Structure 1
Amino acid sequence: MESLHLSFARTIEAGLFKGLNINNSVNVSHLFYADDAVFVGEWSDSNLSCIMNVLHCFSLTSGLKINIQKSHLLGVGVSHSTMVAASDSLGCSIMKLPFIYLGVPVGGNMASIKAWDVIIGKLKSRLSKWKINTLSIGGRFTLLKSVLGASPIYWMSIYKVPKAVLASMESLRRKFFFGILDKEKKISWIKWSKILSAKKHGGLGVSSYFGLNRALLFKWVWRFISQDGSLWARVISAIHGSNIQEHRLYPSSVWNSISREVRVLKNLGVDLISYCVMRMFSEGLSNSLRRPVRGGVESHQLSLLNEMVSSISLSNSEDRWVWNLNGSGLFRVCDIRKSVG
């Protein structure tokens, strides 16, 4: 795949392929993940021909035969007849929206309840009846936590889950934990919210799906603010700007949905962005303190500290973003999960 990447990059440098240019700042032409390749660019006969030529040359040099029949063609803003003609010429099939890419639905309405039927089905199959009858409450609790970290977490890390879906998922977990079968009525001697709460508050530390979903979504915000230099961050910055506080919430998109939820939490009193703090190393000790020195004893102590470190050669570290919700400064999903609920 590295060889294919270099070959395609050279065609772009030679001007043989025109990728997708976003506000004259970022150009997206191809995405590779393991053995999966996606080519993105302007719809033109020359671009389609270029892709086929690169794949053919790659096949000749590497000995790996490309199965065009398993490839798919998707046109955005292109008529169906044009796509049919192109697919017949190339020998590939036409892809329709929505579709699944790397296990995640793309192009669908993830705000609808029906879009999450797959996840609900997986939870039901894993928390099956026979496990309720054969496992102790400790075993059910262990399985419940493992399901929490398996089936839904991939989708929940990208999309905001509708409230009705969250309620259904929590209902499945609650019934499984208490050993309730189908429509069976059984007294629960402790509130489910108490079980979801942290251990220091008397709970079992399971945490709610709501808190997990919001924590996973905010991880993208943290990565954008801390500027990890990745392609997706540069694309978001090219479309919306570098300041997340000024990002528009409309029209609807995955990123706008995440940004909107961050503001909703802020209105509820949970300002997650306030925990993202820039730690500066190049302006001396006084500027790295949480508050200004008040004078008197504090001023004297700062002078002594400056004398102590004056003989020490400090590393030439760049300013960096730190997560201020824990002592380590490293971002952790569990911090938000516990804060949000």
Structure 2
Amino acid sequence: MGVSFDLQPEQYLGLGSGGHFGCGFEKCQTRTRGHPLPSLTKCFETASGLKVNIWKSGLCGVNASPTFLEMACTFLICRIGSIPFKYLGLPIGANPKRLATWEPLLEHLRGRLCSWRNKHISLGGRIVIINAVLNAIPIFYLSFMKMPVTVRKMVVRIQREFLWGGVRGGNKINWVKWSVVCKKKCNGGLGVRDVRIVDLSLLAKWRWRFLQPGRPLWKVVLMAKYGNHISQEVDWSGVRIPIVASNWWKDICSLDEAVESKNWLADSIGRKLGNGLDTKFWTTKWMGNAPLALLFPRLFSLSNHKEGMVADFSEVVGEDRGWSFSWRRELFRWEEDLVVRLREILAPAIFSLESDKWVWTLDAEGNFSVNSAYNFLLEEFDLDIVLDSEGREVLEHIWDSPAPSKVIAFSWQLLLDRIPTRGNLVLRGIPLSDVPWECVGCAGKMETSIHLFLFCPAAMLVWSEIFKWLGVLVIIPPSLSSLFEARNASLFANGSFNPKVIADDIKILSWKWSLARVKMSPCMFYEWTWDPGDCLQR
């Protein structure tokens, strides 16, 4: 934090659990006779109740000679620091475009994977870990810096290899595209957070904070450097970015271009009218989908008060509120028709005693949230249709079923036809011995997902047993996973593909799942085998 000794230092000493003081050292010699630098640390200790650890403190010089920096460190009894330095885990002063800046984050991700190396985690468990751990680790970095494309690909690669290869990773088959994995569950994906969209959503929060009332120090500094418009306007598409602007500021300004053909950020922020004293009538989007200057450019060019506030155009006549305009000349007939249209648009305007404020239109309460921004951007980027309406409905029931997560994940793969059947392995060029495409349950038929789980004679016998047991014609996830496990046992472990045994396994698994997941009265296994419907209705 830069401290000017022309101001009151105590205004800047509430820095929480840590602080950074900086000043021009050459000027400090002549301007700090009554305020030596050690007194700053004393003031900080008095104001915050915390104690400065001199042995952990460092002094970084900006445009200061090495000789003076060494002398200052000797005087303050602290070490010589260097830029970049770490503060709360973030590399302050580092170039976010360089890979070295992000290397600690990548090492942290790899380290977490190593801690699970000796554990077996199913596909369903890996999905949970990616969302809860691997996607949560970069959040702090992404809140302040835009992740370069190269780093983002490396993070996605770590997540992708963990999803399909387990904790040991490796070059495994990626059965589903990562863009599909990042879709919402209701749209055929796994609900894994897209790193790129998370980064954009977190950075968008800074744009929202610029518009909020108050003048915190960071906001004052940015306004002094880049202009007051950052706290007054939502559309920055036409704002010129200075050549000397920081990489962080360029990334903040580029948020408007995240979605092609539209300014998503400006369109998502509206103005809620209060007393009308802080809202510009013509240039602020407060009524309609665009500023009135864009809706009525002719009237805007004729107005005498182009920078006037809404309250300046409002007039009260008796108990009614109207609108008063001042033009630089008399209007033509067709221009008067424009005024009539303008008054019609302004008719729903309602004033109040509160101050005007910005609202986030993607949230019902008008407050910005990273989640609402993420969901909006995900819909904008999510153009591919993975499943039709019937497939999405089936998938919705599967996600709500009491089955374990690994079985639900397998059912998701099956609906997308992305399981390692012999037919799919041949399509991906995987060498197979003997007859590469033959089904293990019946000779001479190609092993596809539909054939293996529905039309194979052995599979139909399994379904027949289940239908007799349930008394209804339904397909449930336990049947699918048990069929596939029996197929793998027959193929790789010299097991038998016995429909009767498979049906008995399905009864046992469904009974265990129902006791663990479904809220019902406990029932004995023999009761479950006799009439599962009666057990579920208790």
The interval holding the TM-score normalised by the smaller chain is: 0.7 to 0.9
Q: How does 1:1-341 map to 2 (within 5 A)?
A: 17-18=5-6, 30-43=12-25, 44-45=28-29, 46-47=31-32, 50-56=36-42, 66-128=52-114, 130=116, 133-180=119-166, 184-244=170-230, 245=236, 246=239, 248-267=241-260, 269=262, 271-282=264-275, 290=288, 316-341=353-378
Q: Distance in 2 between matches of 1:274 and 1:31?
A: 38
Query: Alpha-carbon deviations, 1:64-107, whole Å to 9, x = none?
Result: 76543332212211111110111112211111111001211011
Q: Tell me if the contact between 1:227 and 1:233 (Cα under 8 Å) persists in the aligned partners.
A: no
Query: Alpha-carbon deviations, 1:52-75, whole Å to 9, x = none?
Result: 135457779999765433322122
Could you tell me how far 1:206 is from its partner in structure 2? 1.9
Could you tell me how far 1:193 is from its partner in structure 2? 1.1
Name the TM-score, length of structure 2 as normaliser: 0.50
Which one has the bigger strand percentage? 1
Q: Tell me if the contact between 1:278 and 1:321 (Cα under 8 Å) persists in the aligned partners.
A: yes
Q: Secondary structure at the match of 2:354?
A: coil
The one-letter code matched in structure 2 to 1:275 is S
Q: Secondary structure at the match of 2:362?
A: coil
Q: Unaligned stretches of 5+ in structure 1?
A: 1-8, 21-26
Q: Secondary structure at the match of 1:277?
A: strand
- Shift in alpha-carbon separation, 1:63–1:77, aligned structure 2, 3 A: closer
Could you tell me how far 1:338 is from its partner in structure 2? 2.6
Q: Secondary structure at the match of 1:197?
A: coil
- Shift in alpha-carbon separation, 1:154–1:228, aligned structure 2, 3 A: farther
- Shift in alpha-carbon separation, 1:260–1:249, aligned structure 2, 3 A: farther
Q: Unaligned stretches of 5+ in structure 2?
A: 231-235, 277-284, 293-339, 379-538
Q: Distance in 2 between matches of 1:223 and 1:181?
A: 39
Query: Alpha-carbon deviations, 1:247-282, whole Å to 9, x = none?
Result: 525324144232342143154645212211111122
Q: Secondary structure at the match of 2:72?
A: helix
Aligned residue pairs total 307
Q: Distance in 2 between matches of 1:127 and 1:57?
A: 45
Q: Tell me if the contact between 1:144 and 1:173 (Cα under 8 Å) persists in the aligned partners.
A: yes
Could you tell me how far 1:319 is from its partner in structure 2? 0.5
Could you say which structure has the greater relative contact order, defined with CA pairs below 8 angstroms and 6 or more residues apart? 1
Larger radius of gyration: 2
Could you tell me how far 1:137 is from its partner in structure 2? 1.8
Q: Tell me if the contact between 2:135 and 2:195 (Cα under 8 Å) persists in the aligned partners.
A: no
Q: Distance in 2 between matches of 1:219 and 1:60?
A: 33
Q: Distance in 1 between matches of 2:287 and 2:45?
A: 59
Q: Tell me if the contact between 1:132 and 1:140 (Cα under 8 Å) persists in the aligned partners.
A: no
Q: Distance in 2 between matches of 1:272 and 1:42?
A: 38
Q: Secondary structure at the match of 1:37?
A: coil
The one-letter code matched in structure 1 to 2:215 is G
- Shift in alpha-carbon separation, 1:75–1:332, aligned structure 2, 3 A: same
Q: Tell me if the contact between 2:269 and 2:361 (Cα under 8 Å) persists in the aligned partners.
A: yes
Could you tell me how far 1:109 is from its partner in structure 2? 1.4
Q: Secondary structure at the match of 1:127?
A: helix
Q: Tell me if the contact between 1:31 and 1:39 (Cα under 8 Å) persists in the aligned partners.
A: no
Q: Distance in 2 between matches of 1:28 and 1:268?
A: 48
Q: Tell me if the contact between 1:19 and 1:42 (Cα under 8 Å) persists in the aligned partners.
A: no
Q: Tell me if the contact between 1:30 and 1:37 (Cα under 8 Å) persists in the aligned partners.
A: no
Q: Distance in 2 between matches of 1:198 and 1:58?
A: 48
Q: Distance in 2 between matches of 1:333 and 1:94?
A: 39
Identity of aligned residues (%): 29
Q: Tell me if the contact between 1:323 and 1:331 (Cα under 8 Å) persists in the aligned partners.
A: yes
Segment of structure 1 superposing worse, 325-334 or 55-64: 55-64
- Shift in alpha-carbon separation, 1:321–1:82, aligned structure 2, 3 A: same
Query: Alpha-carbon deviations, 1:153-190, whole Å to 9, x = none?
Result: 10111011110100110111111112356573433332
Q: Distance in 1 between matches of 2:50 and 2:197?
A: 46
Q: Tell me if the contact between 1:18 and 1:29 (Cα under 8 Å) persists in the aligned partners.
A: no
The one-letter code matched in structure 2 to 1:322 is V
Report the counterpart of residue 303 of structure 2 in structure 1: none
